[in-house]
Amino acid sequence: QVQLVESGGGVVQPGRSLRLSCAASGFTFSTFAMHWVRQSPGKGLEWLAFIWHDGNNIYYADSVKGRFTISRDNSKNTLYLQMNSLRAEDTAMYYCARDLGKGRYFDYWGRGTPVTVSS
Amino acid sequence: DIQMTQSPSSVFASVGDRVTITCRASQGIGSLLAWYQQKPGKAPNLLIYSASSLQSGVPSRFSGSGSGRDFTLTISSLQPEDFATYFCQQANSFPRTFGQGTKLEIK
């Protein structure tokens, strides 16, 4: 069965960096586009980034553009989110999600990894 | 960015009730809309995509309709496991955006 397992979250000071990983199994990872989505009590669900199956098409939300980088290693069945210059407002639960098709919908989600940005 | 507005923000209902949740987009999005269910401490779960297509494994009591700017999610006969929060999401353009959620609570 499809499984997505996020890791790498934690408590970090403002301005610091963190790299999230999402290990995929149960499907052919290299043929699916992927997304990162976060959820915080104050801002609800917020889509962050999208990467095509081969990494050739990438989109970001304006709130993270220039600070966050989505990438993938298809040989390791793993999706990444490099988060730099973290801010208090980046505090949230971070989910990776598989794309249903054409970058439109999210058909499988991981359980999430929490990120807290605080001094 | 396309803004998604759900109503109501919360609704109280009983097992067996028929419930309708609405979602309005700030501009036309064709039929490019999804509905998700989220239970406390869990990730969202895709219910409906392309406004009215039922995701595999989702019970047929869930249905979606609408196009353009106005959409609805209907649960025909509430079951105990349906009490959760529901979100709509537009897929017409990047950034993908979600509604603020509708919490379905037991009356």
Tens digits of residue pLDDT in A88-109: 999 999 999 999 988 899 999 9
For residue A46, pLDDT beyond 90: yes
C-beta atoms of A47 and B46 within 8 A: no
Q: How far apart are CA A22 and CA A96, in angstroms?
A: 6
> What stretches of A10-102 show up as alpha helix (H) in DSSP?
none
Binned at pLDDT 50, 70 and 90, residue B17 comes out as very high
Mutate to test the interface with A, among B46, B54, B86, B103 (most CBs of A within 10 A): B46
Binned at pLDDT 50, 70 and 90, residue A34 comes out as very high
For residue A42, pLDDT beyond 90: no
pLDDT digits (tens, 9 = 90+) for B28-49: 999 999 999 999 999 999 999 9
Mean confidence (pLDDT) of chain B: 97
Give B34: exposed, middle or buried? Use CB within 10 Å, 0-12, 13-18, 19+: buried
Determine the pLDDT at residue B100: 96
Percentage of chain B with pLDDT > 90? 98
Percentage of chain A with pLDDT > 70? 99
| Residue A49, H or E segment | strand A44-51
Structure tokens at B61: 């009591």
pLDDT digits (tens, 9 = 90+) for A16-28: 999 999 999 999 9
pLDDT digits (tens, 9 = 90+) for A51-96: 999 999 999 999 999 999 999 999 999 999 999 999 999 999 999 9
Determine the pLDDT at residue A41: 77
Mutate to test the interface with B, among A45, A102, A107 (most CBs of B within 10 A): A45
Q: Which of A22, A112, A24 is nearest to A70 (CA)?
A: A22
Structure tokens at B17: 């009730």
Interface of A with B in 30-89 (CB under 8 A): 35, 44-47, 50, 59-62
Determine the pLDDT at residue B4: 98
Determine the pLDDT at residue A72: 98
pLDDT digits (tens, 9 = 90+) for B3-13: 999 999 999 99
- The answer to whether B48 touches B34, Cβ cutoff 8 Å, is yes
Question: How large is the average pLDDT for residues B75-97?
Answer: 97
Chain A to chain B, count of Cβ pairs less than 8 Å apart? 57
Edge-to-edge strands of the sheet including B19-25?
B4-7, B19-25, B70-75, B62-67
Q: How far apart are CA B46 and CA B35, in angstroms?
A: 6
C-beta atoms of A46 and B34 within 8 A: no
Chain B closest-CA separation from residue A27 CA (Å) = 16
Amino acid present at A28: T
